[in-house]
Amino acid sequence: MPIELLSALVGLLLTLMVFSYLIGDNPLFRVAVYLFIGVASGYAATIIWHNVLLPRLSQTLTGFNPLAIVPLLFALSLLAKLLPRISWIGNFAMAVLVGVSAAAAIGGALIGTLLPQAQAAIDGFDIFSAGSGLEVVSRLLGGVIMLSGTVFTLASFHFSAGRAADGVPKRNRIIEGIAWVGRIFIAITLGVLFAGVYMSALTAMIERLSFVLNFIRGLVGF
């Protein structure tokens, strides 16, 4: 049996096993999910070993670098997490890992999201780079919508409020109205994101159905 035919049969079988979830959760679907998770984990482990761990380890062993001993000790101490009795040895390395990851996430959000968002809101009011009067109006309208969406969305996450006589938290009516508009922007954004995810899933399903139909046509000779 040619390898192409064998791979096509395996792909068809796995596709039908995944589609069996349409009739409810069943062992065939679970086997397909377990296979997917196992293959993905094995692939990720192979990539990490060949592209990260092995090159780093070979650099540490072939060339003497005193600074390379530090990450090596951290990595070895993390292995102590596998044993509950000595798991405390890896606490410091875990704290460093979490701290560096948090700093990288905050820096990435600041540089990659907040600052570009602020710059985009500022550029929306750059009428000097626009040409005709219609382009100026269009640019200003887009800038107002973007700035309003940013401000109103941020206001919707403003939870500080005073307390009424009955002890129930109560915000200012103006802030509450702005937050309500911000929730509308959030709902629109989530709707667009959901539509994008749905379209991606629909595209993948159409591709799988097309694969099944083409495979069946190839077997019957059409």
Helix (H) or strand (E) holding 104: helix 91-109
Question: How far is 147 from 149, CA to CA, in rounded Å?
Answer: 5
Residue 210 to residues 23, 196, 216, 220, Cα–Cα distance (Å): 21, 21, 10, 16
Query: Which one-letter amino acid corresponds to residue 216?
Result: I
- Per-residue pLDDT at 103: 93
Question: How far is 161 from 141, CA to CA, in rounded Å?
Answer: 32
- Per-residue pLDDT at 207: 87
**Cβ 8 vs Cβ 215: under 8 Å:** yes
- Per-residue pLDDT at 84: 84
- Per-residue pLDDT at 168: 58
Q: What is the pLDDT along the chain (222 residues), one digit of tens a residue?
A: 577 777 888 888 888 888 888 888 889 999 999 999 999 999 999 998 888 888 877 776 776 667 777 877 888 888 888 888 888 888 998 999 899 999 999 998 889 888 887 787 777 777 776 667 677 787 788 888 888 888 888 877 766 666 666 655 566 777 778 888 888 989 999 999 999 999 998 898 888 888 888 878 877 765
Helix (H) or strand (E) holding 167: none
- Per-residue pLDDT at 18: 87
In three-state secondary structure terms, 171 is coil
Give the residue ranges of DSSP H helices in 20-90.
27-48, 54-62, 69-78
**Domain positions in the chain:** 1-63, 66-123, 130-222
Residue 111 DSSP one-character state: I
In three-state secondary structure terms, 25 is coil
Task: Output the pTM of the full model.
Answer: 0.56
- Per-residue pLDDT at 7: 80
Residue 213 to residues 5, 137, 161, 186, 220, Cα–Cα distance (Å): 15, 51, 60, 40, 11
Question: How far is 45 from 38, CA to CA, in rounded Å?
Answer: 10
- Per-residue pLDDT at 30: 92
CB atoms within 10 A of CB 33: 13
Q: The tokens of 119 are what?
A: 């710059």
Please provide residue 172's backbone torsions phi and psi, each rounded to the nearest 5 degrees: -60, 145
